[in-house]
Each structure stands twice: as C-alpha cells, then as structure tokens.
Amino acid sequence: MEAFITIQGIRYRANLHHPVDISIPLVPDATTPNAYFAPPFRVEPVRMGNFVGDTRLGGAVNFVNVMLNPHGNGTHTECYGHISTERVSLHHCLRQFHFSAKLISILPVHQENGDRMILAAQLAQALAGDRVEAVVIRSLPNHPDKAQRSWSGTNPVYLDPDGLQMLVDLGVRHILVDLPSVDREEDGGKLAAHHVWWGYPDHIRKDATITEMIFVPEEQKDGLYLLNLQIPSFVLDAGPSKPVLFPLIEVP
C-alpha cells in the first residue's frame, strides 16, 4: 500500500508497509523513560474477592489497571491545554493525523551556564529551506539509553525559544523531540518555549502539538518523511502517543 504527498510542489510516495515507529514502548516491570519525578508506569491486575485479573495467577482472563503520567512516562503528545487555565484536551485539538515531516539531527551547543541547547541557527541550517508541517528532532549523540533513561534532575538539553518562534513563522504545526521537554527542566515556571509554540495566551495555535521523549533509530537518515501521529481518545491535555514515520521517495 502506498500514499502520496506533495511538499513544495514536489510529489513523493510513501510505502505504508515500511513504518518507522519512533515511540518508546511502555513495558510493565521494565525500566522505561521517566521525567519530572513522575511515578513510574505501572500495571496491576484487578483483585475482587476470589477474582484476580491475571492468568498467570490462576485468573480466567487478564484484566488489569494501568497507571501512568502522560507527561512523565515515555512518549507523549500534548496540546496547549498543558499550559492554559482552560481545560483543553488533545483529543479535541488534534483532528488530523498525517503530516509532511522532516527529520533533522542536531548536536546541542554548550552554554556558559553549563546548559546544552538547540539553537535557532542550527534549526534553520538543518531545515535547509524545506517547508513541512512537522519537524522531528534527533539530538546528538543518539544514545540508545534514551529509551530507558531517567531524566529527572539531570537538566537535559532543551530548545531555544527563538528557534521555536522561527518554526512557528515557517508554519510548522508539530514538533517532536527525543527530550523530556522543549523547555529547561527548571525555569521558574516560565515554559517560554511552550508559550512561544502555542502563542498562548494572545494568539493561540489550537491545532499545534508538541511530542516529547521519542527515539529515532540510528539507521534512519535525515530527510523528508510522512508522519502519522497516533493518539488515544483521552480527554486530557496530553496522552501517550505513537508517532510513525514513512520514508518518502520522489515521484518522477
């Protein structure tokens, strides 16, 4: 099965039989990514009297409760409800699920205060003039332990708000990063990059999203892709998500 997409007047073909899943699975009883000191992802069988929802424990079926924090446990996508005083849900903000995308790899720049940032100039250079709906950022080095890392209290890499503004000006609606946040872990509650991205509160981009804690396999080359952004129907500001990339081939 194939899909076709046009980017800046050029037509591309995507083979839908070759998906690249860039989400990080949440595995019960395993080490999975965690940030902001959120409780770990947990799965427990329902117990009621003599009933146990686990066939390994003698139950007739597997019937479990799942406990997670969307922002702190693994790959997730969020809408502007993350920072708004209004209760706004991702379910109502994200109404389309396929987008033109560019995967870019960037080595963060060390700052005088010890922070590491991805700068606007780096984003501009990596985009190289391509106009797409979504930008997928792979930070370097691309250590496989991103798929299991405990980010809490480590002051991870973050993005320069000026870079987010540049992407907004270019019409990008969706940004995906392999980091726990586009903002500094501790910034006194400013969340400058989040506010710039969503134009909150004065010029809200209601359909724009941020996806965090992805992992892009090393073998995937930088370039243009078709993005399928899958989310659950949770009526919350964020939810666990499954972004999937499909490599594009230019159609003669």
What pLDDT does 29 receive? 79
Instruction: Spell out the residues 6+ positions from residue 50 whose beta carbon is closer than 8 angstroms to its own.
Output: none
**How far is the C-alpha of 194 from the C-alpha of 182, rounded, in Å?**
7
What pLDDT does 28 receive? 87
Instruction: Spell out the residues 6+ positions from residue 125 whose beta carbon is closer than 8 angstroms to its own.
Output: none
- Domain 2-25+74-250 indexed as CATH 3.40.50.2020: no
Angle at which helices 120-127 and 161-169 cross, to 10°:
40
Mark the ranges of the chain whose per-residue pLDDT is less than 50.
none
What pLDDT does 30 receive? 81
Is the Cα dihedral 138, 122, 36, 172 positive or negative?
negative
What pLDDT does 249 receive? 95
**How far is the C-alpha of 229 from the C-alpha of 223, rounded, in Å?**
18
What pLDDT does 164 receive? 98
What pLDDT does 229 receive? 98
Is the Cα dihedral 166, 172, 173, 175 positive or negative?
negative
